[in-house]
Amino acid sequence: MKKFYIAAIVIILLTPLGLLAPGSAWGEWGLDEIKSMIGYIPEGMNRFSEVIKAILPDYSIPGFDANFFQQALGYIFSAVVGIAAIVLIFAILGRIMGKPQKKNG
């Protein structure tokens, strides 16, 4: 059990490695990138691009992404928040699922 938590923490602390890859994923550009690529922003893209505003956009803390260190901290913080949200959802699902039966003793 202890080993599992250590492994989980190590993986979370390593997530900023994902920041080192340069550029955006293909097909996941921001509007400014689109504009520089094709010269305009398609009307529908512009209209729907911010239906809701993310709390931690692109896994970063808004205003705290000036250098790699800040971005890395924001990324790790995002991983922790995301995992916590997932655990919370499953805790709720587990409650909805009804009485436990002895299926897997």
Partner 1 sequence: MHIPEGYISPQTCAVMGAAMVPVLTVAAKKVNKSFDKKDVPAMAIGSAFAFTIMMFNVPIPGGTTAHAIGATLLAITLGPWAASISLTIALFIQALLFGDGGILALGANSFNMAFIAPFVGYGIYRLMLSLKLNKVLSSAIGGYVGINAAALATAIELGLQPLLFHTANGTPLYFPYGLNVAIPAMMFAHLTVAGIVEAVITGLVVYYLQKVDEENILYKFSYRLRGDNR
State the residues that interact with partner 1 by CB under 8 A: 1, 3-4, 11-12, 14-15, 17-28, 34, 38, 40, 42-59, 75, 78-79, 81-83, 85-87, 89-91, 93-94, 97-98, 100-101, 103-104
Given a contact cutoff of 8 angstroms between Cβ atoms, the answer to whether 51 and 57 are in contact is no
| Residue burial 18-39, b: 16+ Cβ < 10 Å; e: rest | eeeeeeeeeeeeeeeebeeeee
Question: Nearest distance from residue 61's CB to partner 1, in Å?
Answer: 11
Query: Could you tell me the smallest distance in angstroms from the CB atom of residue 66 to partner 1?
Result: 19
Q: Which C-beta is closer to partner 1: that of 9 or that of 67?
A: 9
Question: How far apart, in whole angstroms, are the C-alpha atoms of residue 49 and residue 59?
Answer: 17
Return the number of other C-beta atoms located less than 10 Å from residue 105's C-beta: 3
Joined tokens for residue 24? 């955006």
Indicate the residue among 37 and 66 with the shorter CB distance to partner 1.
37
As measured in angstroms, the least distance from the Cβ of 29 to partner 1 is 8
